[in-house]
Amino acid sequence: MKKNFLYLKCSDELKVHFNLKQMREKDQLTQIMLVMTLNRRRVRMYTGLRVKPRFWDKESYRCVTEGRISKRDRLGLESINRQINRMERALSDADEHLATCGEYLTESVLRRVIDEVRSESFTSEHPLQYLRRLAQNYMNEINRRGKHGNESSKNTYLTAVARLEDYNRTRKVPITSFNDFDRRFFIDFTNYLYNYRFGKKLEKNYTQNTVINTLKVLKNLLHRAYDNEVTSNDYFKKVQTSLPADVSEPVYLREDEIKKLATMENLTNAEREVRDAFVIACYTALRFSDLRRLNEAEIGDGVISLYQTKTKEKVAIPILKEIAPLITYYQSQGFPIINKVRANRVIKQLAERCHLDEMVSYREFRGGNATLHTAPKYSLISFHTARRSCVTNLYKRGYPVNYIMTLSGHRSMQAFQRYMRASSKEMMSKFVHLLKKDKAIAV
């Protein structure tokens, strides 16, 4: 049977032209057409690319990227030129391959090559879309430590990506590739975060903690993109995201203050459950997410063993005598599962009723500025205060730092030090006491 198809015999130089569908309306987007001669017949095919005629050079068959053109337009025009170049190379490769087989370039091959190049262009995600997809899949993928993420961290990642997307909408020149995450970007994005204002009257700025954590998340996502060979840009590795030790929650509870809470009377059942959970955290350094999972823990021989929600690592926590009765009681009754927002509100109220109203001075870092504030201690207490209190009080008792870090789950001394809330005066007093005990100084 005779085959009826159009073909182009292979030549030393494949002639491929690109023209516009219309040139009259200079500011109206129009189709870019691929034009070739197959078997002495002129063939025109849609490329799926569109451009305004005023940006088109009829001699080079490419978009104009020089002259008085905004950077936003230039980036888009350069992207179109890259796709045209890919089509031209793909057609040349197809032509050479067919020539080695003694075959000719046909119209169907032409269409297939164009469709493949277009498909590759459509599936190549925008950098921000790719980063959002990484954040959404955070719980399903395994990180560099060989572990899955958790729901809380996933939400943190999505929040950071949302801030990046908001920032991108304010840029004169939007992010178009992973190469845009350079030194200038990180400086500009950091300044944007520090200057960002929110609240009903736009009276608030992000804290330094929030800014640094957002940059940490972005670095982590860019590292994943780099590991996945989506980009070769590794500038993110140079960005410093360490917090000074004093940029953290300003308070902890001394053991006598914890005892006041533990011995409170006339509490409702709901208040008692919140108080007891807080006291348990004060002597175990458990995060709130882990307190909610105590019913799944192994408890016996004076030890609580469980896998931490955040780190996915198993910890063995000794049951100190201060909380042994509580652990025994709830082990038989079932540990309460409480709401975090409500629990933080209740513990402030209970602390106020216990007269934990010492005025505390602390620095707050917002909008790149440090301001001094004074507030009653009870207003600064949350469930995270319990974790800080445990770390600080065990350290003040004289237990080795590496033991406390094993209990709290801290991986680095830097992170551990941010949890230390004891004052210099308290630490020096403890130091002098130990020196005297060892007869290391003259009395």
Q: Does residue 131 share a domain with residue 110?
A: no
Q: Does residue 290 share a domain with residue 319?
A: yes
Rounded to whole angstroms, the Cα distance separating 380 from 340 reads 15
Q: Does residue 286 share a domain with residue 231?
A: no
Q: Does residue 358 share a domain with residue 316?
A: yes
Q: Does residue 116 share a domain with residue 143?
A: no
Last residue of a domain, one of 189, 211, 238: 238
Q: Does residue 425 share a domain with residue 307?
A: yes
Q: Answer whether residue 2 shows pLDDT above 50.
A: no
Rounded to whole angstroms, the Cα distance separating 391 from 281 reads 10
When the pLDDT of each residue in the chain is averaged and rounded to a whole number, the result is 82
Rounded to whole angstroms, the Cα distance separating 220 from 122 reads 26
Would you state the structure tokens that stand for residue 42, as one six-digit string?
């002129």
Q: Could you tell me if residue 245 is inside a domain?
A: no
Identify the pLDDT of residue 1: 41
How many domains does the chain divide into?
3
Q: Please compute the mean of the pLDDT values over residues 298-307 and round it to a whole number.
A: 90
Identify the pLDDT of residue 262: 95
Q: Does residue 340 share a domain with residue 270?
A: yes
DSSP 94-137: HHHHHHHTT--EEHHHHHHHHHHHHHHHHHS--HHHHHHHHHHT
Q: Could you tell me if residue 249 is inside a domain?
A: no
Q: Could you tell me if residue 1 is inside a domain?
A: no
Last residue of a domain, one of 86, 107, 123: 123
Rounded to whole angstroms, the Cα distance separating 15 from 91 reads 10
Q: Does residue 382 share a domain with residue 320?
A: yes
Q: Does residue 133 share a domain with residue 113?
A: no
Last residue of a domain, one of 203, 238, 273: 238
Rounded to whole angstroms, the Cα distance separating 101 from 83 reads 27
Q: Could you tell me if residue 250 is inside a domain?
A: no
- Angle 280-281-283 from CA coordinates, rounded to 5°: 70
* Percent of the chain clearing pLDDT 70 (strictly above): 81
Rounded to whole angstroms, the Cα distance separating 55 from 68 reads 11
pLDDT tens-digit readout, 64-115: 988 888 876 787 788 889 889 988 888 888 888 888 888 888 888 888 888 8
Q: Could you tell me if residue 65 is inside a domain?
A: yes
**Burial of residue 420 (number of CB atoms within 10 Å: 0-12, 13-18, 19+):** middle
pLDDT tens-digit readout, 371-399: 777 889 999 999 989 988 988 888 888 88
Q: Does residue 104 share a domain with residue 71?
A: yes
**Burial of residue 260 (number of CB atoms within 10 Å: 0-12, 13-18, 19+):** middle
51: phi > 0 → left, psi -120 to 50 → alpha, else beta; which?
A: beta
pLDDT tens-digit readout, 20-57: 998 888 888 888 999 988 877 888 888 878 889 999 99
Q: Please compute the mean of the pLDDT values over residues 426-433 and round it to a whole number.
A: 61
pTM: 0.53
Q: Please compute the mean of the pLDDT values over residues 123-147 and round it to a whole number.
A: 75
Q: Could you tell me if residue 277 is inside a domain?
A: yes
Q: Does residue 419 share a domain with residue 381?
A: yes
Q: Answer whether residue 146 shows pLDDT above 80.
A: no
Q: Could you tell me if residue 246 is inside a domain?
A: no
Q: Does residue 294 share a domain with residue 364?
A: yes
pLDDT tens-digit readout, 179-219: 889 989 999 999 999 999 888 888 888 888 889 899 999 99
Identify the pLDDT of residue 355: 93
CB of 286 closer than 8 Å to CB of 299: no
Identify the pLDDT of residue 431: 61
CATH number at residue 417: 1.10.443.10
Domain that holds residue 304: 255-437
CB of 69 closer than 8 Å to CB of 55: yes
Q: Could you tell me if residue 280 is inside a domain?
A: yes
Q: How confident is the model at residue 259 (pLDDT cuts 50, 70, 90)?
A: very high
